[in-house]
Copies of this chain bind each other. A is one copy, B any other.
Amino acid sequence: MILTGRFEPGDRIPAERVLAVELGVSRSRLREAIKQLSLLGMLVSRQGGGTYVTSMDEVQPLRTALAPLAPLTAGKAGYWRDIMELRKSLDADAAAFAAERADMADKARIKAACDACSSAFLSESVDMDAAPTRLPLAKLDARFHMSIARASHNVVLYQIMTGLEGLLESSISDSLDTLYRLPDVPRELDLQHRRIFDAILAGRGDEARAAAISHLVFVEDQLAAIEAASARQRRSTQAFDHLKTMQEARP
């Protein structure tokens, strides 16, 4: 029905009880179908409010479809390395395409996201936990990259990068939080962001690509260092526990 145009994005579909009799099925069966479409992000239900057709422009099937799978990857070491490995290519493409195709609205969005990152990154050092309304730094950073992906005018690329972002976040949210609290890292990240943004603004695709790659390499290295440190910490703790157990066992 959505495909045939009976329901436009944003429309509210008939109530379950109504649609069920219209389709000649029970409400249970209809609900199971709606659940599936909701999982794909095509429908969204609000209790008491109704069920609405998602705007296809902003449907993010990858993200929504992958979300329930995230726990599977939480534990896996190396999973985030796979993601970052891909992002080096995808972000590079996105930056290059954005440099070639971004219109004024795109550039404005990128600038806004970049500025938001700057102010957050640079003010973080002075007033630590200031406004609770402010988004987490990781979210702002992700938003900047997503604005570039959107400016690439490649919907598949945009959706995949959105999905990967969600996966990465659920995979190593702790390390991501740590990343922005390292000394001098926010300043460096902001510099790299500006370099990418300037290249896109100037329409220099190759330069944007190179800047994106070096940015991702930097982030990857930092994350690797954080992971290694936390692993070292774990081993140390375990060793200490072991030692304590031995001492207690010998009173």
> Which residues of A are in contact with B by a Cβ distance under 8 Å?
3, 28, 31-32, 35-37, 39-40, 42, 56, 61-62, 65-66, 68-69, 71-72, 79, 82-83, 85-86, 89-90, 92-93, 97, 154-157, 160, 163-164, 167
Known: A32-B31, A32-B32, A35-B32. A160 touches B160 (CB 8 A): yes
Whole-angstrom distance between the Cβ of A159 and the nearest chain B Cβ: 9
In whole Å, how far is A169's beta carbon from the nearest beta carbon of chain B? 14
* Residues of chain B lying within 8 A (CB to CB) of residue A167: 156
Please give me the 5 A-B residue pairs with the lowest Cβ-Cβ distance, nearest first: A65-B65, A82-B156, A82-B154, A89-B89, A32-B35
**Contacts A32-B32, A65-B40, A66-B61 known; A93 to B86 CB distance under 8 Å?**
yes
Alpha-carbon gap, A164 to B97, bound state (A): 19
Q: How many copies does the complex hold?
A: 2
- Once bound together, how far apart are the Cα atoms of A166 and B79, in whole Å? 23
CA distance A188 to B61 in the complex (A): 36
Complex CA gap A83/B61 in Å reads 15
Contact A66 B69 (CB under 8 A): no
**Does B61 lie within 8 Å of A65, measured CB to CB?**
yes
Query: Given A65-B65, A71-B3, A86 and B36 touching (CB < 8 A)?
Result: no
